[in-house]
Amino acid sequence: MSSQLQQRVRTHKEALDAHVREIVAWHFDPSTGCPFWLDFAARAGWDPRREITRYEDLDRFGFFEDEWLRGGPVRQWVPKGLAHLPTYIFETGGSTGVPKARIQMNDFRTDYEQFSHTLPAEAFPQGADWLMVGPSGPRRLRLAVEHLAQYRGGICFMVDLDPRWVVKLIKWGEFEMAERYKQHVVDQALTLLKAHDNIQCMFTTPKLLEALCEKVNLRKLGIKGIFCGGTEMTPQFHRFAVEELLDGIYFAPTYGNTLMGLATHKAPAPEDDWAIIYYPPAPRAVLEVVDPAEPTRLVPYGGTGRVRLTTLTKETFIPRFLERDECEREAPCEQYPWDGVRNVRPFAKLGSNVVVGVY
Amino acid sequence: MRHLPILRQGRPYYSADRARAIHHRTKEPFVEISQANTGLIRRDFLQKEAVANRLSGFSSEELIRLCAAAAGHFADATLPLGEGEQSPQDYVEATSATTGLPYNMVRRNQAKIQGVLANMAGVLRGLTRNLDLSILDRGHGEASGTVVSYFRRTDSLGVVLPSNSPGVHSLWAPAFALKTPLVLKPGGQEPWTPYRMIQSLIRAGAPPEAFSYYPTDHAGAGEILRRCGRGMVFGDVSTTRVWARDPRIEVHGPGWSKVVIGDDMADRWPEFIDVMAASIAENSGRSCVNASGVWTPRHGRAIAEALAAKLAAIQPRAASDPEAAIAPFADPTVAHRMNQMIDGLLAEPGAIDLSGAAGRGPRLAEQDGCSYLLPTIVWCDSPSHPAANKEFLFPYASVVEAPTSAMPGILGPTLVCTAITEDRGLQQRLLAAPHIGRLNFGPIKTIQIVWDQPHEGNLFEHLYARRAFQALPEFATA
């Protein structure tokens, strides 16, 4: 790492520590914090505002538990300081059972506006219309992608896919029906693409992108940029999409979820061998790669471990959440002077019962 | 490290996603295998009709000749392997490295495949009941004085393959001679044999685009079977269950093959011990045609003790030892789990592992970094004991006493049944049993396969169907 980059990493870390102090002060102030965290502090017997002074101190909270986000009361997460704003509830992806949920007011807009600045203007032209083909419904993607389009001066067309239905079809062994449902989604997308000349940008999932490209050449239909995410993407999918599906269309793979926001990808380089490298939207969210057996310990750069998320916005405070993903730890780079993640994939030790990547 | 590519209609493709197979002894990565993503497989399928048409341009006679030439290449030639080459000895050593099979067993399987390729005309005669194969070239003709017409049901045969033993690849080989392009998903530990068979056929002059080879994950395997008009899948019950009711897919699950002794022959059991032992233990018990049960109306305990004593002599040896008769598990955790499972079955009263007392030693043996499960003969006092009708990937058999009057119903699904009896009544009942795939009358080893006698479905009937056909003479010119 160059000395210049080392200096930028240090500067970023100082900013992150300051951001942590600001966010903790907000969430644990009785006039602005949410009932969940105020109650937590009351029972913990220590005042986070006094004792959390830097990012590492967040370890004191222990691990944020998945179950806390399932079920109600959902208003326990609404910060008093933001209670006057319209509140959205967004649910996590394609799993069944009681979904995890996160309340938001403006975070999705902020995240996608930040992301918008990473998109090249020639591939995602100002004023171009968008087509969103993927999971909408209770998910953040629906409003987020639409906001992204609007932020860039466009109008967003929508085709929905319900991943929970797809998961059920697959669990039942109804592969034929799952395929027909996918074709139903693809057919709707193609109808819109053919009917509206100004659609030049798309959001879709890896599987739907493949299915669309089996039917048409998207570039010939006027698409210039594709923002792709929602499920796991492997290096081979990355290569396959660029070399065989897209015919020169700009490809922006992303890693995101309702709890974190949106991680942007590092521009592909030959030495990366098609690895997909993401950097989180720091300081609003931090991704770390930890030893699965000892999740307070980071693995070395290049090492494999479990993804640990910390979300730090005024709307949401989620310290030390262990994701259901694993990956390699990526060093800071010029564009992003903080840790990134490489080749995110389902966490192998969680077993094979998780149905992923079906849409 | 060696790297096996995907073959996309014969064209090597090096994927950015790679799996590794380890050496069974050193546990070091031995080979990297390019992994096909599902979208890539789907995309290649867009060309399947053109590929099928290309293969249709060859006559059956030409394809049989190509198979015969390929047989020689498979056995003797140095053939392409990714960016390098593979000699016959390299093939034996590589297959042994990742599967654990000793060299002598790999060579026996190699000879079996060579035999099927060399004798493809005979194999097809058996599969087609001696049909004049030029009828497949023309689409119609005359057989035994009757006008017949056959059409191919599919543009490709998708095969999801296992890793247990290379001999299994002889089952799909006739599809090529039946003008059907192949889409193969090799087993994770045995990528070598199908790759080498494909290279042999290409060297012989087969069109490369007739062969797709996609190492892939579970989703990719499912995609292959869904996209191909016809398929074959190998695996355990949990793997194959989802395809069991799909008529497009031929399911090759556990064999539960058995040796059955009739009332008339039970007192002569010592004469048949060698056949029983070989049925259980040859090829390290890894084939679905290995016997996992011996069913007899009496003398069960004595038979079990004699088998246990005979098979106790099988002990671990080096992979290169010509006398090696047992293969270690490539993944030692599988051996440990299987051993625990058997202990669990034996915990229920009424069954006993007699091999320990017969001199075998512990069932689970560790030697030179390898984990073995040594031959295990279990005496069960009842056909309903949970250990009585089980099959494992090593020489395991239960010996069960049951009245022949209850046979064959009591046997359950049985891929190969060697019935040692001259009792006409029992023979007739066995002949009528729909749950027996292959039936041997007399002391024939269950693993002794005659290739013109297909079991688990007839590949020709799987790939072709007959249609009604009439033509006026002046119109029947094709």
DSSP state, A100?
B
* CA–CA separation, A51 and A93 (whole Å): 35
> By a Cβ cutoff of 8 Å, what residues of chain B touch chain A?
15-17, 35-40, 42-43, 46, 219, 222, 226, 242
Pair B329, B371: CB distance under 8 Å: yes
* CA–CA separation, B17 and A141 (whole Å): 28
Query: From A238, which residue of chain B is nearest by alpha-carbon distance?
Result: B16
* CA–CA separation, A298 and A190 (whole Å): 45
Q: Do B461 and B430 reside in the same domain of the chain?
A: no
- Sign of the CA dihedral running B197, B199, B202, B208: positive
Residue B477, in any domain of the structure: no
Residue B401, in any domain of the structure: yes
Q: Do B228 and B263 reside in the same domain of the chain?
A: no
Q: Which of A183, A204, A240 to probe by mutation at the B interface, max B CB count within 10 Å?
A: A240
Q: Would you give the end-to-end CA distance of chain A in angstroms?
A: 39
* CA–CA separation, B427 and B102 (whole Å): 38
Q: Which of B40, B42, B249 to probe by mutation at the A interface, max A CB count within 10 Å?
A: B40
Domains present along chain A, CATH in parentheses: 122-253 (3.40.50.980)
On the CB side of A53, CA atoms within 13 Å amount to: 2
| SS3 of B332-356 | HHHHHHHHHHHHHHHCCCCEEECCH
Residue B446, in any domain of the structure: no
pLDDT per residue as tens digits for the range A177-220: 999 999 999 999 999 999 999 999 999 999 999 999 999 999 99
Task: Name every chain B residue with its beta carbon within 8 A of the beta carbon of A253.
Answer: none
Pair B305, B410: CB distance under 8 Å: no
Residues in chain A: 359
Q: Do B263 and B185 reside in the same domain of the chain?
A: no
Q: Do B225 and B298 reside in the same domain of the chain?
A: no
Q: Would you give the end-to-end CA distance of chain B in angstroms?
A: 52
Question: What is the distance in angstroms between the Cα of A337 and the nearest Cα belonging to chain B?
Answer: 27
Task: Name every chain B residue with its beta carbon within 8 A of the beta carbon of A206.
Answer: 39
Residue B472, in any domain of the structure: no
* CA–CA separation, B63 and B177 (whole Å): 5
Specify whether the backbone of B30 is left (phi greater than 0), alpha (psi in -120 to 50) or beta.
alpha
* CA–CA separation, A164 and A358 (whole Å): 10
pLDDT score for A259: 86
* CA–CA separation, B280 and B259 (whole Å): 9
| Number of independent structural domains in chain B | 2
Please list the pLDDT of chain B residue by residue as tens digits (478 residues).
899 999 999 999 999 999 999 999 999 999 999 999 999 999 999 988 888 888 999 999 999 999 999 999 999 999 999 999 999 999 999 999 999 999 999 999 999 999 999 999 999 998 998 999 999 999 999 998 899 999 999 999 999 999 988 999 999 999 999 999 999 999 999 999 999 999 999 999 999 999 999 999 999 999 999 999 999 999 888 878 888 889 999 998 889 999 999 999 999 999 999 999 999 999 999 988 999 999 999 999 999 999 999 999 999 999 999 999 999 998 899 999 999 999 999 999 999 999 999 999 999 999 998 999 999 999 999 999 999 989 999 999 999 999 999 999 999 999 999 999 999 999 999 999 999 989 999 999 999 877 666 665 689 999 999 999 998 877 866 5
pLDDT score for A93: 63
Task: Name every chain B residue with its beta carbon within 8 A of the beta carbon of A235.
Answer: 16-17
Q: Residue A260 pLDDT more than 90?
A: no
Q: Which of B15, B37, B238 to probe by mutation at the A interface, max A CB count within 10 Å?
A: B37
DSSP state, B250?
E
Q: Residue A36 pLDDT more than 90?
A: yes
Pair B140, B476: CB distance under 8 Å: yes
Confidence band, pLDDT 50/70/90 cuts, at residue A176:
confident
Using alpha carbons only, how large is chain A's radius of gyration in Å? 20
Q: What is the CATH number of the domain that holds B398?
A: 3.40.309.10
Residue B300, in any domain of the structure: yes
Confidence band, pLDDT 50/70/90 cuts, at residue A357:
very low
Q: Do B88 and B64 reside in the same domain of the chain?
A: yes
Query: From B42, which residue of chain A is nearest by alpha-carbon distance?
Result: A214
pLDDT score for A232: 83
* CA–CA separation, A193 and A185 (whole Å): 13
Q: Which domain holds residue B38?
A: 2-253+457-467
Q: Do B325 and B423 reside in the same domain of the chain?
A: yes
Confidence band, pLDDT 50/70/90 cuts, at residue A336:
very high
Phi/psi at B160 (5° precision): -100, 110
Q: Do B16 and B155 reside in the same domain of the chain?
A: yes
B2-19 exposure pattern, b = at least 16 Cβ within 10 A, e = fewer: bbbbbbbbbeeeebbbbb
Question: What is the distance in angstroms between the Cα of B400 and the nearest Cα belonging to chain A?
Answer: 37
> Angle A206-215/B38-45 helices, nearest 10 degrees?
10
Phi/psi at B124 (5° precision): -70, -35
Single-letter amino acid code for the residue at B356: G
Pair A359, A207: CB distance under 8 Å: yes
Which residue, A210, B277, B314, is CA-closest to B269?
Answer: B277
Phi/psi at A305 (5° precision): -165, -175
Single-letter amino acid code for the residue at B42: R
Residue B449, in any domain of the structure: no
Pair B292, B398: CB distance under 8 Å: yes
Q: pLDDT averaged over chain A?
A: 92
pLDDT score for A71: 83
Task: Name every chain A residue with its beta carbon within 8 A of the beta carbon of B42.
Answer: 210, 214
DSSP string, A236-278: HHHHHIIIIISTT-EEEE-EEETTTEEEEEPPP-GGGTT--EE
Q: Do B192 and B266 reside in the same domain of the chain?
A: no
Query: From B227, which residue of chain A is nearest by alpha-carbon distance?
Result: A176
ipTM value: 0.84
Angle at CA B331, nearest 5°, toward B329 and B332? 75
Single-letter amino acid code for the residue at B253: G
pLDDT score for A66: 87
Residue B75, in any domain of the structure: yes
Q: Do B18 and B82 reside in the same domain of the chain?
A: yes
Q: What is the CATH number of the domain that holds B46?
A: 3.40.605.10
Q: Do B169 and B78 reside in the same domain of the chain?
A: yes
Residue B478, in any domain of the structure: no
Task: Name every chain A residue with its beta carbon within 8 A of the beta carbon of B242.
Answer: 173
C-alpha dist (Å) from residue A52 to A21, A64, A317, B240: 7, 16, 13, 55
pLDDT (mean) for A12-34? 97
Pair B14, B42: CB distance under 8 Å: no
Q: Do B111 and B174 reside in the same domain of the chain?
A: yes
Those residues whose C-beta lies under 8 Å from the C-beta of residue B84, and which sit 6 or more positions away, are B2
Phi/psi at A181 (5° precision): -65, -40
DSSP-derived 3-state class of residue B230: strand
Those residues whose C-beta lies under 8 Å from the C-beta of residue A319, and which sit 6 or more positions away, are A58, A61, A64, A310
DSSP-derived 3-state class of residue B478: coil
Pair B14, B43: CB distance under 8 Å: no
Query: From A355, which residue of chain B is nearest by alpha-carbon distance?
Result: B219
Supply B472's token pair. Answer: 């006026």
pLDDT score for A355: 41
Q: Do B195 and B285 reside in the same domain of the chain?
A: no
